Amino acid sequence: MTLANRSLKMAALAAGLTLTTPLVFAQAFDAVRLYGAAPGTDGGTVGAAVLATRQYQGSDEHRNLLFPLLDYQWKNGWFAGTTNGIGVNLSSRPDLDYGLRVTADLGRAQSRSSALNGMGDIDAKPELGGFFNYALNPQMVLTSSLRYGSGNNSRGMLLDLGAAYARALAPQWRLGLGVAATFANAEYQQSYFGVDAVQSLSSRYAVYTPGAGLRDVRANVSVTYQLNPRTAITTAVSASSLQGDAQNSPLTRQRDSATGIVAVSYGF
């Protein structure tokens, strides 16, 4: 893989990663990004990201995190890692990715914020799903993902739709841009944004029953500097806005939020 191609993939990765940061990487699996190896070879990426984000989606309290980045893909289509989950890409075309995977919803602890007192914990759950990505050209990729199994009753479902764009600004500098939207079913919305009768008694929030629909929209910009053919440093800013019943939840203290990220990655 050439320096330019690897740099563009790193920038596209950064654009995708920043789409997830408002969720504190609890929803880091909104798309599959197979960037670690040239077609027909094995390869991966390792690194770390420092995040300045929020305590939970809809929170007005800040939270800083150090998040590991480790992803690997095999030439037979299988992949595993912290940003893609475990799955298989069934496509042999360089412009098309589709397949099945297992990811994780990390849940939410009520101890994370006083605003969650009385709401109880949402346990971490495995998610089953699929993905479909299409590259319009070497710089522009459309992404989609379906995930099922999150929430209190393990029946939460999310549909993620997005696009990432990367282009060269100079031999070692790359620009990444991204947009995304996530739709949620009623079970997911109730777990993360709803208040049932029992929770109402313990939290003193009014009973709130959100319906299915658009959960949030996101946009980001990132700049990647390629130190050498394998090592890159990325800085990025992402903006997120809750929509529909999610923004009207009594748990939502702030509808709009911004997140910053600095990431170092090494391809091997």
Question: Can you spell out the DSSP letters for 109-125?
Answer: -GGG-GGGTTS--B--E
pLDDT digits (tens, 9 = 90+) for 132-175: 999 998 889 999 999 999 999 999 999 999 998 888 899 999 89
Beta bridge partners of 45: 71, 267
Per-residue pLDDT of the chain (268 residues; tens, 9 = 90+): 444 444 445 445 444 444 444 344 444 577 777 765 665 678 888 989 888 889 999 999 999 988 888 889 999 999 998 888 999 999 988 889 999 999 999 999 999 999 999 999 999 999 999 999 999 988 899 999 999 999 999 999 999 999 988 888 999 998 989 899 999 999 999 999 999 999 999 999 999 999 999 999 999 898 999 999 889 898 988 899 999 999 999 999 999 999 888 989 898 8
Strand ranges for the chain from DSSP E: 43-54, 62-73, 78-81, 85-89, 96-105, 125-135, 140-150, 156-170, 173-184, 213-226, 231-242, 256-267
Q: What span, in angstroms and rounded, lies between the C-alpha atoms of 10 and 6?
A: 6
- Do residues 72 and 36 lie in contact, with contact meaning Cβ atoms separated by under 8 Å? yes
- Predicted TM-score (pTM) of the model is 0.87
CA distances from residue 54 to 9, 58, 71, 249 in whole angstroms, order as listed: 27, 8, 25, 17
Q: What span, in angstroms and rounded, lies between the C-alpha atoms of 53 and 74?
A: 32
Q: First and final CA of the chain: distance in angstroms? A: 11
Closest residue by Cα to residue 17 from 59, 53, 60, 63: 53
Q: Tokens 């305590």 sit at which residue?
A: 55
In degrees and rounded to multiples of 5, residue 51 shows phi and psi of: -115, 135
Closest residue by Cα to residue 103 from 166, 42, 28, 52: 28
The residues spanned by each domain of the chain are 3-267
Q: What span, in angstroms and rounded, lies between the C-alpha atoms of 31 and 203?
A: 34
pLDDT digits (tens, 9 = 90+) for 106-115: 999 999 999 9
- Do residues 63 and 115 lie in contact, with contact meaning Cβ atoms separated by under 8 Å? no
| Per-residue model confidence (pLDDT) at position 67 | 83
Q: What span, in angstroms and rounded, lies between the C-alpha atoms of 249 and 134?
A: 35
Q: Tokens 């197979």 sit at which residue?
A: 34
User: What does the block give as tokens for 35?
Assistant: 């960037």
The CATH T-level fold of domain 3-267 is Porin (2.40.160)
